[in-house]
Amino acid sequence: MSTISDVAKAAGVSVATVSRALRGLDRVNPQTRAKVLQVAEQLQYVASPTAASLASGRTRVVGVVAPFLTRWFFATLLSGIEKSLREHGHHVVLFDLEAEPMGRRMRLTQSMLWKRVDGVVVLNVPMDDAERELIERLELPVVTVGNRVGGWPCVRIDDTAAMVLAAQHVIDLGHTEIAYVGVVPHDSDHLQTPLERRSAFLATMEAAGLSCPPEWLVDSDWTASGAAAHVVPVLTGAHRPTAVVAASDEMAIGVLCAARRLGIAVPGELSVVGIDDHTFADVMDLSTVRQNVDEQGRRAGQILMGQILGSDTPPPDELVLPVELVVRSSTAAPCRPANP
């Protein structure tokens, strides 16, 4: 089995240079790093993770804190983060804080983080005071995605702008009777995005001189199945909306399924729009507001690695990525006139 000395000899560099190159440190010429990596692969040399950790004081592992690992959004974020970290020889350990959907979650503890990770990426989880104090006491660099937490760098989209695009789209088509799916309980631990999108929806309606009846503001756990069940009373009432704006594509897909089961034609009798551009949105012909979720994960990973490796460039306080309206066949002008 090859040793680090074998790699150094074959590459024509010192053992210390091989060690720095394999650990992804900045103090190595890119051409030298590439040569070392090539030689190490040819010699099938694999550094001992334990020895590397002891030598560098790093675990080469990043903790990713997520509320729901089974959701498309978080799985896509995770994929982007992992790809970014992999370029620097780091990998992910997952902390799944999920309890009940949109309800109370587990809390981070010292045993989860201490001497186990070099940094933390927090995915749309608002940290409480005790969790923030824990991370700061452990002196771990942090990047958040979605939720803005204290002074930590944040990668996100403008949720208000995204919802304005979605709501304004159906308003511009001529809809005036518009329901909303995505209200969460006020005791939920996941409030920031749901509240911002709901507020933006109501503000956009008000700016257009429209209102939404309280019974058309539909509670949901932000799953397709939950939305499909909870929207039924609205779609089967004595008078139903001509359009539904869902705060996420998963919920919009649930609305599409409910409409199909009830024999309501989309978009002939009901227009539906969501936010995300979920992997199934194109298949379902769902109009949506696209956000690049994979890119958010990649950028979060890059910012965190810059902090871990001691980059001279300070991390941004906030990185807001763009969104865009994608019009498909789930939305059209209303076929019946609005009620006077």
Domains of the chain: 4-56 (1.10.260.40), 61-156+293-320 (3.40.50.2300), 159-291 (3.40.50.2300)
**Average pLDDT of span 197-214:** 97
In tens, the pLDDT along 83-126 reads 999 988 899 988 877 655 555 667 767 777 766 789 999 998 88
What number is the average pLDDT over the span 157-165? 98
Sequence-ordered list of residues with C-beta below 8 angstroms from that of 206, at least 6 positions apart, any chain: none
Give CA–CA dist 276/279, Å, rounded. Answer: 9
In degrees to the nearest 10, what's the CA dihedral of 250, 255, 261, 262?
A: 170
Q: Which of 178, 235, 231, 173 is nearest to 205 (CA)?
A: 178
CB distance 208 to 133 below 8 Å: no
Flag whether pLDDT at 57 surpasses 70: no
Side chain identity at residue 25, one-letter code: L
Give which of 257, 198, 62, 68 is closest to 143, Cα–Cα. 62
Six token digits for residue 109: 């503890």
pLDDT at 339: 47
Distance CA 173, CA 281 (A): 20
Contacts of 185 (CB under 8 A, 6+ apart): 102, 103, 219
User: 294, 79 in Cβ contact below 8 A?
Assistant: yes
Spatial separation of the C-alpha atoms in residues 125 and 65, rounded to whole Å: 8
pLDDT score for 338: 47
